[in-house]
Amino acid sequence: MLRVVFDTSVLVSVALTPKGVPAQAYEAWRALRFSLFTTRAIIHEVRTTLGYARIRRRYDCAEAADGIMRALHQKAMFVSGTAEVSVYVRDPKDYMILSAAAEAEAHVLVSSDQDLLVLGSYEGTMILSPRQFLTWLDSIKPEKS
pLDDT in tens, 24-40: 999 999 999 999 999 99
Q: What is the CA radius of gyration of the chain?
A: 14
Angle at 52 between CA 47 and CA 54, to 5 degrees: 145
Sign (positive/negative) of CA torsion 32, 130, 102, 8? negative
- The percentage of residues in the chain with a pLDDT greater than 90, rounded to a whole number, is 92
For CA atoms 117, 132, 129, 71, the dihedral sign is negative
Give pTM, 2 decimals. Answer: 0.94
Residue 123 φ/ψ region, left for φ over 0, alpha for ψ in the -120 to 50 degree band, beta for the rest: left
Supply the pLDDT for residue 56.
87
Q: Tell me how far apart the alpha carbons of residues 52 and 15 are, in angstroms, rounded to a whole number.
A: 13
Residue 11 pLDDT > 50: yes
Residue 141 has pLDDT above 80, yes or no: no
pLDDT in tens, 68-121: 999 999 999 999 999 999 999 999 999 999 999 999 999 999 999 999 999 999
Cα–Cα distance for residue pair 42/38, rounded to 1 Å: 7
Inform me whether the pLDDT recorded for 139 exceeds 50: yes
At 45, is the secondary structure helix, strand, or coil? helix
pLDDT reported for residue 143: 56
Confidence grade of residue 145 (pLDDT, cut at 50, 70, 90):
very low
Q: How confident is the model at residue 57 (pLDDT cuts 50, 70, 90)?
A: confident
Non-local (6+) Cβ contacts of 111 within 8 A are 6, 7, 9, 10, 97, 117, 127, 128, 129
CA separation for the pair 77, 61 (Å, rounded): 24
